[in-house]
Amino acid sequence: MNQSSFDSIAAKLRDCYTSGRPMTPIREALPEASIEDAYAIQAANTAHWEKEGRTLVGAKIGLTAKTVQSQLGVDQPDFGHIFADMAVADGETVAPGRLLQPKVEAEVAFVMARTPDVARLTSAELIDCVAYALPAIEIVDSRIAEWNIRIVDTVADNASSALFVLGTKPVSLADLDLRLCGMVLEKNGEPTSFGAGAACLGNPLHALGWLAAKMAEVGRPLQKGDVILSGALGPMMAVSPGDSVEARISGLGSVRVSFGKAS
């Protein structure tokens, strides 16, 4: 693959945001594309958006469930970048038309106290570099029609990211059992998705360790204040205009978001 091919696909992905229309799978246009090629497409858009003035505030980890990795034919997670304008306040309503085909996941979010030392990524090092945790809802979306994705498609598409919602009561890791924390995700008051910290690579802290090493490898080490969405604690849930969603995670509390109807 060459840079012009990457830039062309990157531009088509950006057009999906403005046109409101998804595109055909990237793997069909670039059948020989590798995961590294997909990250090059992602990086092209990240650079484009930064030049336009968007501000990076952290990263998200995807594919933390072994079952999803198997579906996409990979043996590791992936990552995407999150920007300040992707944040939705707890309890707010997402404006209609802002998303194409949204789904939601409940996650543990970490806020970094400092940059991890990748030469010593022990659990102790990771715990020491986290300021606090928050409950989070990640609103994922795909610019690929009908969510017809494989690994190249989702990685190129910034790991199918869209928006995120954070709770507002920070919790020290000393007060959490990250592996056993239970999760319930409700839609319109009905429990729909269930899970626990162990569903996220065995422990959300393990996912953070993977990301810390990966981001250092690509030259964007995690920084103080970065928000890290560590991966889903249970199955994704599709949402429609008019839906209200609440995630409750034991030890962390709850976080809510609604989706507006077109007038």
Beta-carbon-side half-sphere exposure of residue 97 (alpha carbons within 13 Å):
4
Question: In this structure, is residue 163 part of a structural domain?
Answer: yes
What pLDDT score does 131 carry? 98
Percent share of the chain, pLDDT over 70: 99
224 is in which domain, residue-wise?
56-259
Q: Binning pLDDT at 50, 70 and 90, where does residue 178 land?
A: very high
pLDDT at 252 over 80: yes
Report the CATH number that the domain containing residue 247 is assigned in CATH: 3.90.850.10
Cross-strand partners of 183: 195, 249
User: In sequence order, what are the residues at sequence separation of 6 or more whose Cβ sits closer than 8 angstroms to the Cβ of residue 167?
Assistant: 90, 109, 134, 135, 136, 252, 253, 254, 255
Q: Averaged over 218-243, what is the pLDDT?
A: 96
What's the confidence (pLDDT) of residue 72? 72
Q: Is 27 inside any structural domain? A: no
Answer whether residue 3 is part of any domain: no
Confirm whether 24 is domain-assigned: no
| Residue 168 near residue 252 (C-beta atoms within 8 A) | no
Judge whether 10 lies within some domain: no
Does the residue 20 lie in any domain?
A: no
pLDDT (tens digit, 9 = 90+) per residue, 119-176? 999 999 999 999 999 999 999 999 999 999 999 999 999 999 999 999 999 999 999 9
Answer yes or no: is 8 within a domain. no
Tens digit of each residue's pLDDT (9 = 90 or more) over 204-217: 999 999 999 999 99
CB of 48 closer than 8 Å to CB of 14: yes
Overall domain count for the chain: 1
On the question of pLDDT at 73 being above 90, the answer is: no
Residue 210 lies in a domain: yes
